[in-house]
Amino acid sequence: MTYERINLGRCGEEKAANYLIKQGVKIVEKNYRCKYGEVDIIAKDRDTLVFVEVKTRKTSTYLSPFLAVNKHKQLQISKVALHYLLEKKPKEMPCRFDVVTIVDEKIEWVKGAFERGM
């Protein structure tokens, strides 16, 4: 991965976090990593713990960046989320998987983008 792409991803994650905060969401952690991978943002949306994947693109293409969160990526995020829950043991609450896409500075937040991967 090139430095430019890494920088674009980090910038997008920061924009997504700021956007979520403006929507009333509380950021719990950023870039949570474990042996299964990484979740970009972990947040609380009212009484729900939310695991957020952020996808950023510089320009519009024919395909939505949302499509990059395929079944394999969903399974990986699910494993990381389970690891987080077992490690941190947060207060029992519902969980949700969201995706935030950023294309040409336009932000789209898809709540409940997918169910836990199997």
Summarize pLDDT for 77-104 with one digit per residue, the tens: 999 999 999 999 988 999 999 999 999 8
Q: Is the pTM of this model over 0.85?
A: yes
Q: What is the pLDDT of residue 75?
A: 96
pLDDT greater than 60 at residue 113: yes
Instruction: Check if the beta carbon of residue 99 is closer than 8 Å to that of residue 69.
Output: yes
Domain boundaries, the chain: 3-114
Give which of 28, 78, 85, 18 is closest to 53, Cα–Cα. Answer: 78
Helix, strand or coil, per DSSP, at residue 73: helix
Give which of 29, 40, 35 is closest to 65, Cα–Cα. Answer: 40
| Residue 36 CB coordination number (10 Å) | 16
3-114: CATH, from 3.40.50.880, 3.40.1350.10, 3.40.50.10800, 3.20.20.70 = 3.40.1350.10
Tokens of 32: 């949570």
**In this structure, which amino acid lies at residue 14?**
E
Instruction: Check if the beta carbon of residue 27 is closer than 8 Å to that of residue 20.
Output: yes
Vertex 80: Cα angle to 110 and 92 (nearest 5): 80
Q: What is the pLDDT of residue 41?
A: 98
Mean pLDDT over the full length of the chain = 91
Helix, strand or coil, per DSSP, at residue 11: helix
